[in-house]
Homo-oligomer: A and B are copies of this chain.
Amino acid sequence: MRYCRECGHPVEMVIPAGDNREREVCPQCHHIEYDNPRMITGTLPLYKGKILLCKRNIEPRLGFWTLPAGFMENQETSSQGALRETLEESGSVAVCKQLFSMISIPHINQVHIFYLAELQKDDFHATEESSEVALFALDEIPWDELAFSSVSKTLKFYLEDLKKGQLEFHEDTIKINQLSAQ
């Protein structure tokens, strides 16, 4: 049972007029509750050719390494969100260079985006969200200890692009049966 955010009355699943899918609709105040995908925004932070990774100090995937990223918040742009998350998770100030990857994950209703970013200086530290923050050379990336498949994909795209000599934007999808192979 769910309740209306506007008046507290129990809602019903109904296809509203002019719509084509069921929504939570309040029979008392007629509020329609829309639930839409959320964006995760983050960076692939670079410093002198090395990549900054954060060891997660929180669930999910506590103890695994990730690129700094998190839910985009209201009132910010996607790049502002990426830099805010980078600061919150790694203590480092970065500058976004270009959008590098956008990965839809439809079974969890998320879209993950990552910017290539440059650290302003060699200055980062463990935070509430990260037990460890470190720079990794390209041949030091802990592939078996990465937290999320969107992070693995983004790092692979980056290494492949470096080999090709051209950094491009990458779009991809993660399907449910790929999760076990992350």
Contacts and interface: CB of A to CB of B under 8 A. Distances in A.
Interface of A: 2-10, 18, 20-21, 33-39, 58, 71-80, 88, 99, 102, 104, 106-107, 109, 111, 128, 169, 171, 173
Number of copies of chain A assembled together: 2
Given A5-B33, A72-B36, A169-B99, A78 B107 contact: no
B6 A3 contact: yes
A99 B36 contact: no
A72 B171 contact: no
A49 B4 CA distance: 48
Given A36-B39, A128-B18, A75 B106 contact: yes
Nearest to A35: B74
